[in-house]
Amino acid sequence: MYGLIWTDPALDELADIWVACSPAERGEVETAVLRLDPALMRDPLAVGESRSGSRRVVFETPLVVWFTVSDADQVVRVTHVTKPR
């Protein structure tokens, strides 16, 4: 089991997305995070697509979430969150 850390910038981005959403969209954002968090803690290398270095990206509708995986520390860090354009 990996530890999961949402960095402050990622949390700020998620908060900005939340504020800009309608009530229905907020439910979708909440559902996406509730689906994603356990998957990242269980097996982060099976989530999303690899990018350069230890960076990965996952498209969890309605979010795009960037994260890094440290196998040595067994830690996942969510570093960036956006909505697709």
The order of strands in the sheet holding 49-50 is: 3-6, 75-82, 63-70, 55-60, 49-50
Q: What is the pLDDT of residues 54-81, one digit of tens each?
A: 899 999 999 999 999 999 999 999 999 9
pLDDT of 53 > 90? The answer is no
- Could you give all domains of the chain from N- to C-terminal order, each with its CATH number? 10-82 (3.30.2310)
Peptide bond into 38 cis (omega under 30): no
Cite the beta strand spans of the chain per DSSP E: 3-6, 49-50, 55-60, 63-70, 75-82
pTM: 0.94
- Do the beta carbons of residue 29 and residue 18 sit within 8 Å? yes
Q: What is the pLDDT of residues 30-45, one digit of tens each?
A: 999 999 999 999 999 9
